[in-house]
Amino acid sequence: MDAQPIAPCETFDSQLGCGAAASAASPDLRAFYDNWDRVRGSKPMPNRRELSLTPIKHLLRHIHMYDVVDGGKDFLTRVMGSGVFVGRNPDTTGKLLSEHPDAAVRSHVGPVLCEMVETAKPARLMRTCQGDDRFHITYAESVCLPLGTGDTVEQIVAMTIFTHELQDTYILLPEFKAASAAKQDIFVLLYRFAKIGGRRALSLIMSSMKRERASG
């Protein structure tokens, strides 16, 4: 399957090395790394039998694991936690990474895992994409850790944490620009209300903007 370019609304960032993984923004990801680091000791990495996930069992739904296929030419998804295939991310358990339906994952994640096989170093990945409602940005932060014997990476275990943040993109909408000054003030108040937890306000913003645009 040929890789497709990453969509314009999405960005990917990745860094290899223990320092990058240990400095993840999510405290859950740092706990995931710390557990791996403690088990490996002075070795480059632990193997699967040595690594116990019991200390972070409350985070198991965010775990995904891959078997290295043909020295890193592909990766077989052995485990895919229910917290990973959320939204448009499907459950790909038992499938090759090269068969992943998301072109952006094939284009970016595959090469990063391949590099991990060569270097035997952890990786931190960040994916950012625009939410469907034009008000939210979704961030997916992942830490990927090698497992194997000696310097040979046999598996990669990863954890991904999703966060969704309300953004000030409403000011860019044509409906907002077309509204009167008084209506804009109302939109801003509704938006601020939504930002502190009143998600119902999002639909009110959109419906108010559309009515204002239609009447104009």
Among the listed residues 7, 133, 169, 154, the one whose alpha carbon sits nearest the alpha carbon of residue 69: 154
Query: How far is 26 from 142, CA to CA, in rounded Å?
Result: 9
**Could you tell me which CATH number the domain at 10-166 has?**
3.30.450.20
Domain ranges for the chain, please list them: 10-166, 168-215
**Which pLDDT does position 49 carry in this prediction?**
94
How do beta strands 152-166 and 63-69 pair? antiparallel
Lowest mean pLDDT among 34-43, 53-62, 87-96: 87-96
**Which pLDDT does position 65 carry in this prediction?**
95
Contact 120, 17 (CB under 8 A): no
Decide if pLDDT at 180 tops 50: yes
What pTM does this model have? 0.74
Question: Across the chain, where does the E strand assignment appear?
Answer: 10-16, 63-69, 74-80, 123-130, 136-149, 152-166
Query: How far is 104 from 143, CA to CA, in rounded Å?
Result: 17
Look at 5 and 75; give whichever has higher pLDDT: 75
Decide if pLDDT at 119 tops 70: yes
The token pair at 190 is 């509704």
pLDDT tens-digit profile of 132-169? 555 667 888 999 999 999 999 999 999 999 887 766 65
Instruction: Calculate mean pLDDT across residues 17-28.
Output: 93
**Which pLDDT does position 189 carry in this prediction?**
67
**Which pLDDT does position 164 carry in this prediction?**
75
Instruction: Calculate mean pLDDT across residues 83-107.
Output: 82
Instruction: Determine whether 197 is exposed, middle or buried from the number of CB atoms within 10 Å of its CB (0-12, 13-18, 19+).
Output: exposed
